[in-house]
Structure formats: structure tokens, C-alpha cells
């Protein structure tokens, strides 16, 4: 299956290395998927192919970091798309918790900026779906850290992920590459579906939540009325 996919994509681009570069830049496949598909390209030099994958994933990092916050703000300003913008922002904030955990653990040993850098690097270095260059760059754009430091953390983390995945692929027989690609795709779909279900559940809970009622104020009598009443009683 991987060989068929590789042949079909190469027929469009005309070059195996360009195919790997573009696959690594696409959010659906990214570097992880491109490296697995490279297993179906026996004529490709593994070292050069890996460099093309790293370069393709690195090409989108800086634009995503610079554009993610303005795009989310634009979505939130639009009445129809405000929920989408808030959902993306909440999802990125949730994923950024792992970055902040690393920074908190290193408090006192290294600076807060280096803690965020290290946390972002570790997040991207894990070769799993939804932790690639696109997600890492989006998180980096939302963090309070230098653009260049965030970009470097994502690029280095992605390079580390490629080395881990290549080491795993070295122990996988060729006939099992297709199974690995299917497992990777199934895991990506499952993670995305779980995120969608969580967002829908959170939205339903907000709708069911009773509206906040203002506390009742005690009725107070006007001083003039109290004075008149006292005069009548006297």
C-alpha cells in the first residue's frame, strides 16, 4: 500500500524527494507519515529523504507561529466563527499544559524561557499524531516566548522525532510497513474524534448549566416614608 501511495504521489510531483518534502509540510501526514511512506520508496536515499522530510516540516513552522494568534483573534471577532476560534484556543491551551509542566519542574534549575523551550521540544519530539510541527508551532505562537526560540524548539523536536521513528522503522520488516501506516492513521483519527467529542460534551454542559441569577436585594424603605410613618404613630 505504501508503495502504491508513493508511486501515485510521485507521478504528480515528478520527484520522490519533492513528494517527501510536500508530504511533511501537509498537516494530515506531516513528518511522521512522510517517513512511513518513504518506506515504500526503495530507490530513495534514506539520509537525503529524511533531510527532505525535516526541511518540509520546518518550512511551515515560522508562518504558523506568526499567524496562529491573529487568525484565532479574527475568528473570535466573527459572530459565526467565534465558537471555532474559542475551541481552537482552548485546545491549544490544553496541549500547552505539558509545556508548562516541564517549565515548572525545572524552576530553580534553569530560566522560565529555557523551561518553555525544553517543554516545547519534548512535546514535538514524541513521534505521535497531533504532536507534530503544526501543533507544536501553533502552541509556540500562543506561548509568551521569543518567536525564534519557539521555532528552533519545534524544528529540533521534529528532527529528534524523525530519528526516533527511523530507529523504530529499522526494526519493522518491510511487509509490516503498511500495517504501521494504517495504525498511525487510525490513531490520528481516534485522537481527532476524541477531541471533537470532548468539545461537543463541553458545549452541551455549558448549555445545560442554569443561568446565573442575581442575588435578591432586601427591600429598603425610603427615609422620607419612614419619617412620615413615625410622625403618624406619634
Comparison of pLDDT for 168 and 177, the residue scoring more: 168
> How far apart, in Å, are the Cα atoms of 44 and each of 49, 62, 100?
6, 28, 39
pLDDT, average across residues 165-186 = 68
pLDDT band at 184 (very low <50, low <70, confident <90, very high): low
- Report the pLDDT value the prediction gives residue 51, as an integer from 0 to 100: 94
What is the average pLDDT value for the chain, to the nearest integer? Answer: 79
pLDDT, average across residues 136-144 = 91
**227 has pLDDT over 50:** no
* Residues paired with 107 in a beta bridge: 110
Dihedral through CA 201, CA 204, CA 208, CA 211, nearest 10?
110
> How far apart, in Å, are the Cα atoms of 188 and each of 27, 88, 132?
11, 17, 11
**206 has pLDDT over 60:** yes
Tens of pLDDT, residue by residue over 74-92, are 999 998 888 888 888 988 8
pTM listed for this prediction? 0.75
- Report the pLDDT value the prediction gives residue 98, as an integer from 0 to 100: 83
Mention every residue, 6+ apart, whose C-beta is less than 8 A from residue 28. Answer: none
Comparison of pLDDT for 115 and 121, the residue scoring more: 121
pLDDT, average across residues 215-228 = 47
- Report the pLDDT value the prediction gives residue 2, as an integer from 0 to 100: 55
pLDDT, average across residues 8-37 = 85
- Report the pLDDT value the prediction gives residue 176, as an integer from 0 to 100: 58
* Residues paired with 110 in a beta bridge: 107
Comparison of pLDDT for 28 and 20, the residue scoring more: 20
pLDDT, average across residues 100-112 = 78
- Report the pLDDT value the prediction gives residue 228, as an integer from 0 to 100: 45
Domain ranges of the chain: 2-199
Q: What percent of the chain has pLDDT over 90?
A: 32
- Report the pLDDT value the prediction gives residue 220, as an integer from 0 to 100: 46
Amino acid at each position: 500500500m505504501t508503495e502504491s501511495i508513493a508511486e501515485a504521489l510521485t507521478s504528480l510531483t515528478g520527484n520522490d524527494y519533492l513528494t517527501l518534502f510536500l508530504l511533511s509540510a501537509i498537516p494530515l501526514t506531516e513528518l511522521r507519515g512522510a517517513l512511513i511512506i518513504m518506506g515504500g520508496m526503495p530507490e530513495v536515499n534514506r539520509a537525503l529523504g529524511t533531510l527532505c522530510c525535516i526541511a518540509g516540516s520546518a518550512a511551515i513552522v515560522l508562518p504558523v507561529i506568526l499567524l496562529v494568534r491573529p487568525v484565532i483573534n479574527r475568528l473570535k471577532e466573527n459572530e459565526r466563527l467565534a465558537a471555532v476560534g474559542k475551541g481552537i484556543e482552548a485546545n491549544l491551551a490544553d496541549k500547552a499544559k505539558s509545556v508548562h509542566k516541564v517549565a515548572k519542574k525545572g524552576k530553580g534549575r534553569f530560566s522560565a524561557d529555557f523551561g518553555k523551550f525544553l517543554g516545547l521540544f519534548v512535546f514535538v519530539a514524541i513521534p505521535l499524531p497531533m504532536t507534530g510541527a503544526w501543533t507544536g508551532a501553533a502552541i509556540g505562537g500562543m506561548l509568551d516566548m521569543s518567536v525564534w526560540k519557539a521555532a528552533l524548539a519545534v524544528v529540533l523536536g521534529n528532527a529528534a522525532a524523525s530519528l526516533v521513528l527511523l530507529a523504530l522503522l529499522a526494526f519493522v520488516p518491510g511487509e509490516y510497513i503498511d500495517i504501521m501506516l494504517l495504525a498511525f492513521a487510525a490513531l490520528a483519527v481516534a485522537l481527532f474524534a476524541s477531541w471533537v467529542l470532548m468539545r461537543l460534551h463541553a458545549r452541551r454542559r455549558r448549555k445545560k448549566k442554569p443561568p446565573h441569577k442575581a442575588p435578591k436585594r432586601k427591600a429598603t424603605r425610603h427615609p422620607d416614608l419612614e419619617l412620615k410613618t413615625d410622625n403618624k404613630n406619634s
